[in-house]
Amino acid sequence: MSQIILRPASQAMDLERLGAGFSSRLSFMRTLVRHMVQDQWAISYSQFELDDLGYGHAVFDIKMPHSQLSLVVFSQYLAPEERNDRVIAEKWDLTMTLVEGEMDDAWLERLSKNVPLQEAGRIDSRSLCLSRGNRSARIFDSLLEQLRSGVQPDPKKLAEVGYLYRTTAVYGSGKFGACDWDKIARHHPDLARPFSAEMLVCYLLRQFSLDQLHHMVHQPDYPNAVDLDMDLQRYLGIGNSTGLGMAPYLINHPLLMSQWIGQREQAYAEVLAEPVEQAQLTRLKLVLEQAMQHVREVSTFDAWQSKNNVQLLIDAQELSDWLSSEDQKVNDWRQLHEWAQQHYSLETQELLVSLLLELYPDIVNPKEDQLAINESLTYDPTQSAQNLADSIQESYDWVFDYDFTEADENQTFWYYSQEKMEPRLGKTDIDDGAEVQMFLGIAKAVQACHNDLLTMMQQSHDVSVAEFLLQKPIHLGIVNRIATMAQTQYGEIRANLLHKDVLPMHLLRCKLAFFGVSKFDPKSALWVRNTMFQGAPVVGDLKHEFNDDWYFPVAPIIGGKHQPNA
Amino acid sequence: MPELMQISANELKFLVKRSAEGLGFSPGDQLSAGIKAAVAFQLGLANSHLLVKGLDALNSAIRAPLLLASNDQELMFDAQGQSALVQVELALGLALAKAVPRLHIKHLVAAAFAVPCLMNWLAQPLNQASAQQCYALYFTHHSGAQRCVLIAADGQLLGLYQPLQTIVEMDELLLCMGQADIEGVLITDGADLLGWRERCLDQGVYLEATLISRLKHMMQASLVPETEASRAGAGPG
């Protein structure tokens, strides 16, 4: 084993690189499914009260090693004109909540009056998450027709959408009366990893979508009805649209970000230090082929993403050819890593990171338990101002790359909209509201703090941080951040989010890659469609042998002859 | 009886933070206000009445507490009627940095909100750790009675006391460092305070419904009417 060398933060935390990431072994969906299988979770319906049109309610009973949960799903009629994925919607096809323990009639009654209302209702601290989903009417109805007639669908048509339902929001972390994260971490250790509860809701929504479909298929009027082919069931995921609402999260949770990136980078560095063996090399070729097929099947009209996909396929094909050629000699993984850095696009480089992590589960998987952290940004008032200035010079040197006297560097501001309380971008020279903008201009704030520190220290060197802040209280927030984050390696995304050309898409993709989604399909620079849990085992698979190989899902071959978009 | 609503500590933190934002406080003050409110509720040191008082006193025109007097034995500040939800750490921090035995902050409203701030600092290794035995914070409780929270040098809560004598005025905070014992009656020991906190982690905290409405109204001031340009391309969110 050679030396373990971490990628520097200047590289790993570059915004464009973060926006080129892919899901990996450490992604939250992968981790959740792995534990559901390894820890032998028992998931079944305790209630499934749907009418022949699929309306009613169902309750999943979820037995985990350390606790028991229920997911309550309410299904109601939604007129096509009422089906709206925007946050302002007031009605959905499905609404659900994940709760502690078993369901009783009184509780179910109370939930039935609140959960369908979502934000307008109220849940209590026995709930972990609140969520909703809308049906993809196009695919659901045609699939229903075909299966009722005993016909399997064309996988190509299925692959164009890839899901029966889309989530439009999954609320956790104490929203609308639900419990805090601390409670989940203490009482439900099986979910004590970031976003595990939220991912579980999405996973079971996917299962419900299949079960509801089959319930509607197998009605007495359809004697020839058949189940959807199992491979096609696994190929269906849950649709998701992610917009600006997710973007500020990574800036507002730098310690968590540091943990996520840090664990991945540590795993990658350890993998690069491993000796190359033939078995791993063979496996790399296989997973590379699968990833390439996955990318070929991505359907997007976005020119930027299409271009990236094309370049990735060119790079990956070259890499694949070289790995298969007789004269290739991969001496160590670092050599491959450096070659990719010098010759391939960012997306190909980051794809290689994810693929190499696939080869070493023993190195990578244990790091999934280090992804959560107690978040507290705090400074030490007794520290000297000189120490704080030194921390800025050492850990925040990148902020001096920006000249904030230039108008372009200050032209964007982020705010919460009055209409929907969702993040929006404004232009300082056009829009009102910059005075209440979100605190996302980290580089600018650090520079300002540093300038004031230097000015104060010119007058007196023997100054504490407490004295500095008493003179310049405006810097309280950024001092908390600098003092905390200077002790970490990763965490601060190296970009100026106030720049006129800032691309929030990179932030969205970074977070979604950690979630584990696939099929990135940007619809603008501000929002992206994607698919969750596509290719994952269904609930019935959880008790069987498990290969943990559902990354980069590709359309199944039905009858040995069809492969969509290939 | 006013209607009570259960909310999570995180939701309370969010509501108070955004309310402070709506009033024009700096990002540091916004977050600090949210955290102090949530932790004070979890420790049983605050209730809706105290939070209303703390919110009423928030004044973003005040930048920082005024340092009135400073010597080796005492620091004296005037908070100018500011709420302890914000800025109080500026005075507490200076007291720790200078390691003076006593800190007096006058005209500080809802002083109980200062407790989480001091606990948080003591729980981490400070650069110049004061070799003090204990830290005693005197303030007026939401019940109107005098109270003292005794905190160990490592940030552990040791107990909530009722002092035998009047130590502070209504809107005043006194921090005494190096105090090993309190002349007063122990009301709740540290384990019970933490037990209360655990219960709140499990069950959330209870606020008067009217206060939650008020917080939601206050945070409206931090929102901006969206423009057609900003909506364009923003997708379903």
**Which of A244, A435, A466 has the CB atom closest to B94's CB atom?**
A466
Which residues of B fall within a CB distance of 8 Å from A436? Answer: 21-22, 24, 221-224
Q: Are strands A412-417 and B223-224 parallel, antiparallel or unpaired?
A: parallel
Q: What secondary structure does DSSP assign to A417-484, as a single string?
A: ETTTS-EEEEETTT-S-GGG--S--HHHHHHHHHHHHHHHHHH-SS-BHHHHHHH-GGGHHHHHHHHH
Per-residue pLDDT, A564: 35
Average pLDDT over residues B156-172: 94
Structure tokens at A81: 């004109």
Segment (H or E) for A265: helix A254-272
**Which of B29, B222, B226 has the CB atom closest to A436's CB atom?**
B222
Q: Say whether A424 and B97 touch across the interface (CB within 8 A).
A: no
The per-residue pLDDT for range B28-48, each reduced to its tens digit, is 999 999 999 999 999 999 999
Residue of chain A minimizing CA distance to B15: A175
The per-residue pLDDT for range A460-507, each reduced to its tens digit, is 889 999 999 999 999 999 999 999 999 999 999 999 999 999 999 999
Residue (of A292, A324, A325) closest to A310 by Cα position: A292
Segment (H or E) for B201: helix B190-203
**Which of B89, B97, B234 has the CB atom closest to A467's CB atom?**
B97
Q: Say whether A382 and B89 touch across the interface (CB within 8 A).
A: no
Please determine, for residue B5, whether its predicted confidence score (pLDDT) is greater than 70.
yes
* Residue spans of chain A under pLDDT 50: 560-566
CA B230: distance to chain centroid?
Answer: 37
**Which of A86, A469, A480 has the CB atom closest to B236's CB atom?**
A86
B93 three-class SS:
helix
Which residues of B fall within a CB distance of 8 Å from A187? Answer: 202
CA distance B28 to A423: 20
Residue of chain B minimizing CA distance to A388: B127
Please determine, for residue B131, whether its predicted confidence score (pLDDT) is greater than 90.
no
Per-residue pLDDT, A544: 87
Interface test with B, best of A182, A249, A442 (most B CBs within 10 A): A182
CA distance A464 to A444: 23
The per-residue pLDDT for range B59-91, each reduced to its tens digit, is 999 999 999 999 999 999 999 999 999 999 999
Per-residue pLDDT, A565: 36
**Which ipTM value was assigned to this complex?**
0.95
**A417 CA: distance to closest CA in chain B (Å):** 5
**A429 CA: distance to closest CA in chain B (Å):** 13
Per-residue pLDDT, B127: 73
Per-residue pLDDT, B132: 65
Which residues of A fall within a CB distance of 8 Å from B126? Answer: 380-382
Q: Going along chain B, which residue ranges are E strands?
A: 4-7, 66-70, 74-83, 102-109, 134-140, 146-152, 157-163, 172-177, 184-189, 205-208, 223-224
Structure tokens at A232: 């096609």
Which residues of B fall within a CB distance of 8 Å from A87? Answer: 236-237
**B4 CA: distance to closest CA in chain A (Å):** 13
A-B contacts at Cβ under 8 angstroms = 206
Interface test with A, best of B17, B206, B223 (most A CBs within 10 A): B223
The per-residue pLDDT for range B172-225, each reduced to its tens digit, is 999 999 877 789 999 999 999 999 999 998 999 999 999 999 999 999 999 998
CA distance A512 to A373: 19
**Which of A187, A244, A464 has the CB atom closest to B97's CB atom?**
A464
Q: Say whether A175 and B8 touch across the interface (CB within 8 A).
A: yes
Interface test with B, best of A110, A240, A417 (most B CBs within 10 A): A417
